[in-house]
Amino acid sequence: MSKKANPPPPPPVRGAQVLLALGIAESALSLFQWSQLLTLRQGGATVCGVSERVNCEAVWNTPFAGAVHELLRMPVAALGLVWGLVAVALSALYLVWQRGARPVRPAVNGLRLTAAAGVAACAVFAAVSASTGVLCPTCLGTYVLTLAFAAVAWKGLPGALLPQAGEWATSLKWTVGFTAAAYVALLVPGTQTPRSSSSSESVAQVAPLPGSLEAYLKSLSAQEQQAVSDALALYRQATPLPAPSPARRLYGTTSAPVKMVEWTDSRCPHCKALVETLTVMKKRLPEGKLSLEARQYPLDSECNFTMPPQATDGSGIRCVAAKGQICIEDAPDYWELREKLFAAQRSLTSRDAVLQVLSSGSMSRMQLDACVARQDTERKLRDDIAYARQHDIHGTPLVVINGREARAFPAFLYALILADGNPDASAFGALPTPRAFQAHQAH
């Protein structure tokens, strides 16, 4: 009698279990990065913005990251989550098939293809990160997890390294299928994540500007008209609040129909974009329509009592920039120096760098140093912070028009100024229904 051939041993599970754990870890890290990106886009301070040399924010704001977001409709962090979810799904598929005694080769091939894609992406992102000259801690974590995943996928799984003849179709079906499902699932939150310049579009998009409200609203795209409509609905619902203290420095006249107050932080990228946008608007608006007041809200617990204790990098740059701007309020070149400060945002790597910019005009460095150290300057900063708190500030920039909080969206701000601050101007009737109202009507 011939002996029965022994069945082949079941595929090992250890490697797939490790890959599952690494995929979960990468997904969690990507979710954290995404949440931090949202914090940054809202003008807040991130936990990885440690210093000028150790800072994830500089990498997230690179033109490359912006181009990826524009092309794929989601930020790089979301793509990391897509990769992590695919890694988790294929690892789980391997374990399910192994337990059911099914062939695991499609899952093995998918895991190795996913690993190869991760290594290639990390090489590109690492090159971009290196070009910024800063160290991104969360990026390093992603590289470590991805390279560990690749090592285990190539060494800890059974069978040939590459798909064999007849295996490609099934392997790609599962890999591409999981990738497409993860991408589609994250597409809505991805498109809703603000881009690096979306809280206040580039100055180029603001000019040239039509002179009448009707013409301006017609010149906007459908998406911009919807955004203006949404912002207008929120503005109408806000309750006007009186200013607790008079303006210390004003652009324009007190008789202007639109009285705008804005709070900024010197290292907030959206604040930089807002300052640049308002610089263009001031030059193009009809004279007498706008008065503008600049207040300070540094996102640093060292000088802002409303911030949590951990919200500081210890450099004091934000605080000295806020106090320095208060100190130059009486200078004839105040607005020019303030614009110069935000234009130099990326180079504000120390307190001295801030003071050099602010003392490059009519106020000497000695005068500026003395003013920054005064108790009266500290008191004015506390007044600015308390004023902002009156409007329940959650991040910078904060914009208030005629006592009501207004979204820092250039198209909306310009439209409201053209309407002399009247949110019920007849021209607004041509705008689409606000999305909040649409959702309410659907119910």
What CATH code is carried by the domain that includes residue 286? 3.40.30.10
Are 262 and 294 contacting, i.e. CB atoms less than 8 angstroms apart?
yes
Are 128 and 59 contacting, i.e. CB atoms less than 8 angstroms apart?
yes
Are 26 and 62 part of one and the same domain? yes
Domain tally, the chain? 2
Are 234 and 338 part of one and the same domain? yes
Classified as helix, coil or strand, 258 is strand
Q: Which pLDDT score, from 0 to 100, does residue 180 have?
A: 96
pTM: 0.60
Are 400 and 269 part of one and the same domain? yes
* Residue 5 included in any domain: no
Q: Which residue's entry shows tokens 């809202």?
A: 42
Are 121 and 51 part of one and the same domain? yes
Q: Which pLDDT score, from 0 to 100, does residue 210 have?
A: 56
Average pLDDT of each block of 10 consecutive residues along the chain (443 residues)?
62 92 96 85 63 71 83 92 96 94 92 95 90 83 95 92 88 94 94 63 45 88 91 95 94 95 94 91 86 96 94 93 97 94 91 94 93 97 96 91 94 94 96 71 40
Which of 129, 160, 192 is the C-terminal boundary of a domain? 192
Are 181 and 240 part of one and the same domain? no
Are 297 and 398 contacting, i.e. CB atoms less than 8 angstroms apart?
yes
* Residue 6 included in any domain: no
Are 263 and 184 part of one and the same domain? no
Are 234 and 145 part of one and the same domain? no
Which of 192, 226, 260 is the C-terminal boundary of a domain? 192
And the tokens for 238? 């806000």
CA–CA distance, 295 with 247 (Å, rounded to integer):
9
Q: Which pLDDT score, from 0 to 100, does residue 203 have?
A: 37
Output the CA–CA distances (angstroms, integers) from residue 412 to 216, 223, 359, in the order listed.
Answer: 10, 12, 34
The CATH code of the domain that includes 51 is: 1.20.1440.130
**Residue 22 domain boundaries:** 14-192
Q: Which pLDDT score, from 0 to 100, does residue 66 have?
A: 81
Output the CA–CA distances (angstroms, integers) from residue 67 to 57, 62, 375, in the order listed.
Answer: 16, 9, 46
Are 349 and 241 part of one and the same domain? yes
* Residue 252 included in any domain: yes
Q: Which pLDDT score, from 0 to 100, does residue 436 have?
A: 62
Are 105 and 208 part of one and the same domain? no
Are 218 and 163 part of one and the same domain? no
